[in-house]
Chain A
Amino acid sequence: MAIPGQKQLTHLEEFMEGIWKQNPVFVMVLGMCPTLAVSVSAVNSLSMGLATAFVLVCSTLLVSLIRKLVPKEVRIATYIVIIATFVTVVDYLIQAISLTVYEALGAFIQLIVVNCIILGRAEAHASKNPPLRTVINALGMGIGFTIGLFALGSVREILGAGKLFGIPLFGPDFQPWVVMVLPPGGFFVLGAWLLLFNWLDSRKSGVARGEPVEGRVHG
């Protein structure tokens, strides 16, 4: 972010923001609604992640292009209209590509409109930065979100159905963990991933050596 007095990030750093340091799922814990509801299988979570990434990149690019034209008072409404446009595009696109995936994702495709990652990026980043930088940041965020969803979806599919991308991994005798495809399973797996990421992060920042840490979980 181009806050005066702060060092401008390089393009690579800008890209990596969303993948690691500000990962929407594991660090910012944003967009939990689709994350938990859709990540039942690897295919679902990948398509949801890519759909969100597409909307994110396109809408932030447009927001960034018109950032000097839009009056401050109506900016949120403008963002929503832009986002909704691209969500409609994605909605029809998925319907055209695969009806099964469309039915599996259900209302959550339309709900991308209110995904706080997208509105958050538009407000916090795209409205203050030039198009190229915005697109790079949005790409990183989109890929970070997809990685997060895929991490959840693959674990839930492996344990909940014994498959990955629909391919059986353990043979016909596999005992499915029913809870993993139910809502609690989403919370368990998300919690486990958060634990792992926070643990890796704290090791990197030296908690293991007994130094105090600041709180890491964001609202």
Chain B
Amino acid sequence: MNLHSPRIELRTSPHVVKGLSVERIMFNVVLALLPIAAFSIWQYGLSALALLLTVIATCLLSERLFNYWSGEPNTLSDWSAAITGLLLALTLPPSFPLWMAAVAGCVAIALGKAMFGGIGHNVFNPALVGRAFVQAAFPVSISTWAPAYASHRFTEFIPTTLTLPLMTPADIGPWAKQALDGFTGATPLARWKFEHVATAPYDLLTGAATASAGETSAILILLCGAYLAACRFMDWRIPVAVLGSAALIAWLFQLWNPVRFPDPSFVLLSGGLMLGAVFMATDMATSPVTPKGVWIYGAVIGVVTVMIRYFGGLTEGVMYAILIGNALAPLIDQYCQPKVFGSAGRKT
């Protein structure tokens, strides 16, 4: 099919076919994620590379196996499993042991996707399902952070990366201290929550803060998201609604109590909000389709994120906020159905 020029076909409507296929959209999302992955490898070196490769490989393998067992056609070529793997790896800490990462990848595909019937049928974002599982299963490892720009990052692994399967990873502390002087191992959000220190916005923008593998540079994520939105591969309303509602509610809280609550810019730039808003909340299968519903969905995610961060026990709330948003998506769509043309004023 000619992908670019719209053309009219002699058949029943729709007549204008734009030629957007699942493969094409998914491939472009992969393209948009590649710079972020590359930046994360630049920051964390071999460990990030191994993490990315492991998670993507397990996702592809699980997808293939479940296709095979269920007698479905092979769906590896639509790139969706690769995206799940990429996104999942980018949300994990760079020092995450590879065997746990493999568990996360397998659960993401099995529980998040295959169980519901494969691509397009999943209720929750598969990558986040995988991450939620390992967060519940290995709460210590998923909140152990490694310093970026360690000096030998391209020649040696972070020690916890190569933990033997099923074994507890070693303490990362001594290695991190030696790799980067003064490294505290706390994310900006944790430092704000427990030590009341807000990280400077500049560090958050450029990715000099401690974080998951792919959520460090807000600028890069926004640029990649802008590419997707410009090419219409992604609904721009969702990230705008998520970030806008988060900023708005953070601003209101700051007005109310400027000592306790941080600046809205800190809320927007820290943690996984950017990555979540741009790449996770916009998953087509799990977000609403009605224009009004999309705004509500995004606003719910933004508000819940800020609420969890401010008042919850966890330091980061983006993952659960998006999962809650996913769960609400069908309901939101149901209440936001556009009026059928000509039905106004008629009793139904």
A interface with B by C-beta (< 8 Å): 162, 170, 173-175, 177-180, 182, 184, 188, 199, 208, 210
* A208–B100 CA distance with the chains assembled, in angstroms: 33
User: Is B76 interfacial (CB 8 A cutoff)?
Assistant: no
Q: Which residues of A contact B167 (CB under 8 A)?
A: 170, 173-175
Could you list 8 further interchain pairs (A-B, Cβ under 8 angstroms) beyond the known A173-B167, A210-B71?
A: A174-B167, A175-B168, A177-B138, A178-B136, A178-B139, A180-B137, A182-B136, A199-B69
User: Is B231 interfacial (CB 8 A cutoff)?
Assistant: no
User: Is B244 interfacial (CB 8 A cutoff)?
Assistant: no
* A182–B164 CA distance with the chains assembled, in angstroms: 24
* A17–B143 CA distance with the chains assembled, in angstroms: 48
* A182–B100 CA distance with the chains assembled, in angstroms: 18
* A210–B71 CA distance with the chains assembled, in angstroms: 9
Q: Which residues of B contact A182 (CB under 8 A)?
A: 136
* A199–B133 CA distance with the chains assembled, in angstroms: 24
* A170–B139 CA distance with the chains assembled, in angstroms: 20
Q: A199-B69, A208-B71 are in contact. Are A170 and B137 (CB under 8 A)?
A: no
Question: Number of contact residues on B: which range applies?
Answer: 10 to 19
User: Is B16 interfacial (CB 8 A cutoff)?
Assistant: no
* A184–B87 CA distance with the chains assembled, in angstroms: 24
* A180–B139 CA distance with the chains assembled, in angstroms: 12
The answer to whether B168 touches A177 (Cβ under 8 A) is: no
In the complex, which of the residues B100, B163, B168, B169 has the most CB atoms of chain A within 10 Å of its own CB atom?
Answer: B168
Q: Output the least CB separation between A46 and chain B (Å).
A: 24
The answer to whether A174 touches B166 (Cβ under 8 A) is: yes
Q: Which residues of A contact B169 (CB under 8 A)?
A: 175
Q: Which of A170, A178, A180, A208 touches B166 (beta carbons < 8 Å)? A: A170
Q: A199-B69, A208-B71 are in contact. Are A173 and B168 (CB under 8 A)?
A: yes
- C-beta contact mask, B232-257 vs A, less than 8 Å → 1, else 0? 00000000000000000000000000
In the complex, which of the residues B69, B133, B137 has the most CB atoms of chain A within 10 Å of its own CB atom?
Answer: B137
Q: Which residues of A contact B166 (CB under 8 A)?
A: 162, 170, 174-175
Residue of chain A at shortest CB distance from B70: A199
B interface with A by C-beta (< 8 Å): 69, 71, 100, 111, 133, 136-139, 141, 163-164, 166-169
* A177–B100 CA distance with the chains assembled, in angstroms: 10
The answer to whether B69 touches A175 (Cβ under 8 A) is: no
Q: Output the least CB separation between A155 and chain B (Å).
A: 13
The answer to whether A178 touches B168 (Cβ under 8 A) is: no
* A182–B163 CA distance with the chains assembled, in angstroms: 24
Q: Which residues of A contact B69 (CB under 8 A)?
A: 199
Q: Output the least CB separation between A36 and chain B (Å).
A: 16
Residue of chain B at shortest CB distance from A199: B69
Q: Which residues of A contact B111 (CB under 8 A)?
A: 188
Q: Provide 29 A-B residue pairs closer than 8 Å at the C-beta atoms, listed in order of the A residue.
A: A170-B166, A170-B167, A173-B164, A173-B167, A173-B168, A174-B166, A174-B167, A174-B168, A175-B100, A175-B138, A175-B141, A175-B163, A175-B166, A175-B167, A175-B168, A177-B137, A177-B138, A178-B136, A178-B137, A178-B138, A178-B139, A179-B133, A179-B137, A180-B137, A182-B136, A184-B136, A188-B111, A199-B69, A208-B71
Residue of chain B at shortest CB distance from A180: B137
* A48–B168 CA distance with the chains assembled, in angstroms: 31
Residue of chain B at shortest CB distance from A209: B71
Residue of chain A at shortest CB distance from B135: A179
* A140–B71 CA distance with the chains assembled, in angstroms: 34
Q: Output the least CB separation between A189 and chain B (Å).
A: 12
Residue of chain B at shortest CB distance from A171: B167
Q: Output the least CB separation between B190 and chain A (Å).
A: 19
Q: Output the least CB separation between A182 and chain B (Å).
A: 7
Q: Which residues of A contact B141 (CB under 8 A)?
A: 175
* A48–B209 CA distance with the chains assembled, in angstroms: 51
* A37–B168 CA distance with the chains assembled, in angstroms: 27
In the complex, which of the residues B71, B139, B167 has the most CB atoms of chain A within 10 Å of its own CB atom?
Answer: B167
Q: Which residues of B contact A170 (CB under 8 A)?
A: 166-167
* A215–B283 CA distance with the chains assembled, in angstroms: 31
* A170–B163 CA distance with the chains assembled, in angstroms: 14
Residue of chain A at shortest CB distance from B71: A208
* A150–B181 CA distance with the chains assembled, in angstroms: 51
Q: Output the least CB separation between A196 and chain B (Å).
A: 11
Q: Output the least CB separation between B132 and chain A (Å).
A: 9
Q: Which residues of A contact B138 (CB under 8 A)?
A: 175, 177-178
* A59–B135 CA distance with the chains assembled, in angstroms: 45
Q: Which residues of B contact A199 (CB under 8 A)?
A: 69
Q: Output the least CB separation between A140 and chain B (Å).
A: 30
Q: Which residues of B contact A208 (CB under 8 A)?
A: 71
Q: What are the 3 tightest A-B residue pairs by CB atom distance, in nearest-first order?
A: A179-B136, A179-B137, A175-B168
